[in-house]
Structure 1
Amino acid sequence: MRRTPQDSVELPRRMKHLPVDRRGYPVIATVDRGPQAVDFGAISERRKLALATFDWCAVCGGPFADEARWQMVMQEGPVPEAVAGEAPVHEVCALYAAQVCPFLFSPQSRLGDEFRKGMVRDAVVRFVGFESTSSVIAHESGLQQGVHTLHFAHQKQVDEFSYHSPDEIQDRFADALANERDLPVSDAEQVLIALFNRLDDEGDGAVVTGAALAAGAAFAKDVFLVQGMKRFTAKPYRAVAGLLLKGSADEVLEFSNGSQDEAFRVVGPWVLERADTMPLPLQQWRKRGENMVRRSDPKRPEGPGRSVSKNAACPCGSGRKARRCHPAGIALN
């Protein structure tokens, strides 16, 4: 059997929880997947939204905490800030990918998708580490008219590495492996990470993408125009996000505890525990939501809870009866 670069490259500890495809390749967090097949050549915009919301690495799907966000850049010279259409990664994950990803490890590599067919990898690949992701914005794609994709803006360059051949970064990779550390993950976030990285996530990240919308991504400008997000427009995610934004701690926990959705059961606790340390993009989206959501007056309930039968399913999506879940209704604006 022909050996591949992956066979001789050590897997970082933080990637060992990832599922593998039928060939044994670890399925990185940002790619399209399903129980039957994985498309390593397709980046999922739905999954990118979850990565942005929870501040996770696009390779291992784990948190950044206080580590730098690494991005491949094309420009030369100092890079105080950068905007990219791909989600950032940990340094050790970038170094691993540089040695096993066909497009990254070979100077002769070409992209094969229908929009970039024939594009060749730059002779020298440059990765830059940034202190933080300052914003994530939906832009109309330059490759597909009318389709929006997410773009990540990073600020404050802290480090970089470049290479022509992966052999040039082996020492740096060895150091990164030796210094790899476990990043803090709460019980709620651990559940979200596990759900996000599985192969059968109801079709390409649907479960955790819904949780990301509830956490506040529903307030991001043009978020429902993003590629693959149309399926979420029929449900009142913005109403649920309003509850998690302006509801009391008891209301948030009541919603989470009563939900039949695995990710919704833990996104409420995650929002509460991260109230003072939310990722910058999510802070911006929730701030925008402050002007979009109006608190219900307990004496004059309004919203979908008043427009459905008391024994009907609650419009928030919890699966409980409306009279049990949100008897006062959920404000929609």
Structure 2
Amino acid sequence: MPPAVEARPRDVRGYPVPAITPWEGGEPRFALTDHGRSADCARQRRCSVCDVPMPPGPVWRVVGATESAAIAAALASGEPYRNLAPTTEGPGHRACMLYASMVCPYLARPNARRGSSAERPDELTAHVVRGAVRGELGAVVGFGDFEYAVTETQVLFRFLDLVEYLPHDTADTHLAELRAELGRVR
């Protein structure tokens, strides 16, 4: 576990709570995103998992099957990957995203299902439906930078300049990479 994640507040089971996770009645709502916390992380260039500032340079995120397949296709064809569609999922440190890909049940396995639906579904979150399957080949992806916009109801991110693509069927394949990353950042 990255040290900054280890220092995060925990739920009653002892699980660390990501920086952008809302709390309700003293309990974290893991499948949801807190607008204000996400906006603060974007504005202050803080990791959406550990809430520690990210240095200038690459940022990482975990992607599902659809985006992972699009990245793989672009790389296979020798074309640059460009996705100008915004997402509501913010960036983080490499170690934090490797860790998140392994411990989040939905991100870790292709047959994992979402535990809840988006609270206010729109064109960006309509796919966030309780019971939806992650699908094959997720990935931890590094980008040279990101852009963001804070609207009244969402924080929108776009990621630029693909720098790393680490696909996974099951995220435990990233364990050696996470250990190596933790060795570099300590």
Counting only pairs closer than 5 Å after superposition, residues 94-133 of structure 1 correspond to structure 2 as 94-115=97-118, 116-133=129-146
Counting only pairs closer than 5 Å after superposition, residues 183-202 of structure 1 correspond to structure 2 as none
Q: Is the 8 A contact 2:101 2:140 kept in 1?
A: no
Residue of structure 2 aligned with 1:160, choices 159, 165, 171? 165
For residue 114 of structure 1, what is the amino acid of its counterpart? S
Superimposed CA distance per residue, residues 178-232 of structure 1 (whole angstroms, 9 cap, x where no aligned partner)? 1115xxxxxxxxxxxxxxxxxxxxxxxxxxxxxxxxxxxxxxxxxxxxxxxxxxx
Report how far residue 65 of structure 1 moved. 1.0
Q: Does 1:56 align with 2:69?
A: no
Greater per-residue helix proportion? 1
Q: Is the 8 A contact 1:85 1:151 kept in 2?
A: yes
Which is further off, 167-176 or 48-57?
A: 167-176
Which is further off, 99-108 or 28-37?
A: 28-37
Counting only pairs closer than 5 Å after superposition, residues 1-333 of structure 1 correspond to structure 2 as 11-34=1-24, 36-73=26-63, 74=67, 75-76=70-71, 77=74, 78-82=80-84, 83-115=86-118, 116-138=129-151, 148-181=153-186
Q: Is the 8 A contact 1:130 1:155 kept in 2?
A: yes
| Whole-Å separation in 2 of the counterparts to 1:84 and 1:64 | 19
Unaligned stretches of 5+ residues in structure 2: 75-79, 119-128
Scaled by the length of structure 1, the TM-score of the pair is 0.46
Q: Which has the higher contact order (CA 8 A, sep 6+)?
A: 2
For residue 150 of structure 1, what is the amino acid of its counterpart? V
User: 1:131/1:112 Cα in 2 relative to 1: closer, same or farther (>3 Å)?
Assistant: same
Report how far residue 59 of structure 1 moved. 0.4
| Whole-Å separation in 2 of the counterparts to 1:22 and 1:167 | 25
SS at match of 2:144: strand
Q: Is the 8 A contact 1:81 1:157 kept in 2?
A: no
User: 1:57/1:104 Cα in 2 relative to 1: closer, same or farther (>3 Å)?
Assistant: same
| Whole-Å separation in 2 of the counterparts to 1:68 and 1:91 | 9
Greater per-residue strand proportion? 2
| Whole-Å separation in 1 of the counterparts to 2:117 and 2:174 | 31
Q: Is the 8 A contact 1:67 1:90 kept in 2?
A: no
| Whole-Å separation in 2 of the counterparts to 1:55 and 1:35 | 28
Report how far residue 80 of structure 1 moved. 3.9
For residue 114 of structure 2, what is the amino acid of its counterpart? L
Percent of aligned pairs sharing the same letter: 27
Superimposed CA distance per residue, residues 39-89 of structure 1 (whole angstroms, 9 cap, x where no aligned partner)? 112111111111111111110011111342112341232424553211111
For residue 169 of structure 1, what is the amino acid of its counterpart? H
Q: Is the 8 A contact 1:13 1:180 kept in 2?
A: no
SS at match of 2:154: strand
Unaligned stretches of 5+ residues in structure 1: 1-10, 139-146, 182-333
Alignment coverage as a number of residue pairs: 163
